[in-house]
Amino acid sequence: MSNNVLTFDEVSFSYKGKKKEKVTPILDQLSLSVQSGEFVSLLGPSGSGKSTIFRLITGLEQPTKGLISLYGEEEMKRLGKVGYMPQQDMLLDWRNILDNAFLPLEINGFTKKDRKEQVLQLLEEFGLKGHEYDYPHQLSGGMRQRVSFLRAMLGGGNLLLLDEPFSALDAVTRLSMQEWLLDQWEKLEKTVVFITHDVDEALFLSDRVFLFSQSPLSTFKEIQVPLPRPRKLEDLLSPELATIKSELLRELRQQVKL
Ligand SMILES: Nc1ncnc2c1ncn2[C@@H]1O[C@H](COP(=O)(O)OP(=O)(O)OP(=O)(O)O)[C@@H](O)[C@H]1O
Ligand SMILES: [Mg+2]
């Protein structure tokens, strides 16, 4: 039996435009698979369709052609089956931080009494202690990102989709969040698909990096990261990694036509 948590089998997709408007394909027969317990990053130019891949996985969009399987089953009803942190946080302005974080548990039928302690403890771990009863507009960008991240962690299923989760963080906090994420990933045995524009971040975190370059997305270059785990940030300084990094940067730079 295959160990795949996620499979795209020749998936095509375009957003429906208004009548007569030209429809631009975003995905064209894209096939990929992610195995249980893997950490995979998606790298590619802005506007190429990375976030769209996540919207397809979560079931917010459906492919125009091809099949998406989750947890080994072809699955049309994918909503609520994965933990999803969207690129723009979707915190509910009228709910305080505790209630925002609690949302996925509530959807899955837990009462607040059941899990309040768990959520409060996580909020503390995420550096949000003291803000439990604040509202989203009272938080900084980085804090909102952490609430959104926490909410994705509490979402159902083994698969966690993180869309540029650390982009609003300062460099130092970002590094500690990366280490923290690897810790959580190992402890909770999650499967992670991670979108980033940061090559170092992708290499430090991932087992494999998928580098997209064509538009529409149809094939990609796959890079296996040859680092043992657990990893340290200094591992990125090895000559082998430096070579891989410069290749990735070169390919990415070729795609950006200024
Ligand atoms: N809801 C939508 N309706 C119509 N077109 C959309 C919609 N969302 C995205 N697009 C278009 O689809 C393309 C891919 O967008 P997507 O957000 O997936 O890119 P991305 O690779 O995540 O980019 P970035 O790195 O900037 O986040 C873009 O051209 C975008 O304009
Ligand atoms: Mg995006």
Taking only the tens place, the pLDDT of each residue in 92-128 is 999 999 999 999 888 888 888 888 988 999 899 888 9
State whether the beta carbon of 191 lies less than 6 angstroms from ligand 1.
no
User: 138 and 42 in one domain?
Assistant: no
**Is residue 242's pLDDT more than 80?**
yes
Query: What confidence tens digit (pLDDT) does each residue in 198-217 have?
Result: 999 999 999 999 999 888 99
pLDDT at 14: 96
**Ligand at shortest distance from the CA of 56:** 1
User: Would you say the C-alpha torsion 122, 56, 249, 197 has a positive or negative sign?
Assistant: negative
Distance of alpha carbon 172 from the chain centroid: 20
Q: What is the DSSP letter of 237?
A: G
User: 246 and 204 in one domain?
Assistant: yes
User: 72 and 4 in one domain?
Assistant: yes
Question: For residue 204, is it within any domain?
Answer: yes
Cβ atoms of 95 and 134 within 8 Å: the answer is no
State whether the beta carbon of 48 lies less than 6 angstroms from ligand 1.
yes
Bridge partner residues of 221 (DSSP): 211
**Is residue 151's pLDDT more than 60?**
yes
Residue nearest to atom 8 of ligand 1 (CA): 52
User: 74 and 166 in one domain?
Assistant: yes
User: 133 and 46 in one domain?
Assistant: no
Show which of 141, 156, 171 is a domain's final residue: 156
User: 251 and 185 in one domain?
Assistant: yes
**Ligand at shortest distance from the CA of 256:** 1
190: tokens are 């999650």
9: tokens are 């089998």
pLDDT band at 258 (very low <50, low <70, confident <90, very high): low
Cβ atoms of 5 and 70 within 8 Å: the answer is yes
Distance CA 94, CA 85 (A): 19
Angle between helices 141-154 and 171-188 (to 10 degrees): 10
Pairing between strand 159-163 and 65-70? unpaired
Percent with pLDDT over 90 in the chain: 63
Show which of 106, 128, 156 is a domain's final residue: 156
State whether the beta carbon of 15 lies less than 6 angstroms from ligand 1.
yes
Burial of 166 (0-12, 13-18, 19+ CB in 10 A): buried
User: 162 and 59 in one domain?
Assistant: yes
Q: Report the nearest atom of ligand 1 relative to the CA of 87.
A: 27
Q: Report the nearest atom of ligand 1 relative to the CA of 164.
A: 27
Q: Out of 55-64, 111-120, 242-251, which region has the weakest mean confidence (pLDDT)?
A: 111-120
- DSSP H helices in the chain: 50-58, 97-107, 112-125, 141-154, 171-188, 199-205, 239-255
131: tokens are 């803000």
**Is residue 135's pLDDT more than 80?**
yes
Residue nearest to atom 11 of ligand 1 (CA): 47
> Region 135-159: what's the mean pLDDT?
89
User: 115 and 49 in one domain?
Assistant: no
State whether the beta carbon of 87 lies less than 6 angstroms from ligand 1.
yes
pLDDT at 168: 83
pLDDT band at 170 (very low <50, low <70, confident <90, very high): confident
CA–centroid distance, residue 201 to ligand 1 (Å): 22
Pocket test for ligand 1, best of 26, 88, 89 (most atoms within 8 A of CB): 26
* Preceding omega of 63 cis (within 30 degrees of 0): no
Pocket test for ligand 1, best of 28, 41, 50, 85 (most atoms within 8 A of CB): 50
Question: For residue 21, is it within any domain?
Answer: no
Distance CA 138, CA 65 (A): 43
User: 189 and 150 in one domain?
Assistant: no
Highest average pLDDT, of 69-83, 161-175, 244-258, comes from 161-175
Question: For residue 19, is it within any domain?
Answer: no
Domain that holds residue 192: 1-14+27-78+158-258
Distance CA 139, CA 109 (A): 28
pLDDT at 60: 92
User: 1 and 87 in one domain?
Assistant: no
41: tokens are 């990053």
Q: Amino acid identity, residue 114?
A: D
Distance CA 117, CA 148 (A): 18
The total of other beta-carbon atoms located within 10 Å of residue 244's CB is 20
Residue nearest to atom 29 of ligand 1 (CA): 47
Distance CA 52, CA 48 (A): 9
CA–centroid distance, residue 211 to ligand 1 (Å): 17
Tally the domains of the chain.
2
The per-type count for the chain, helices as H runs and strands as E runs, is 7, 10
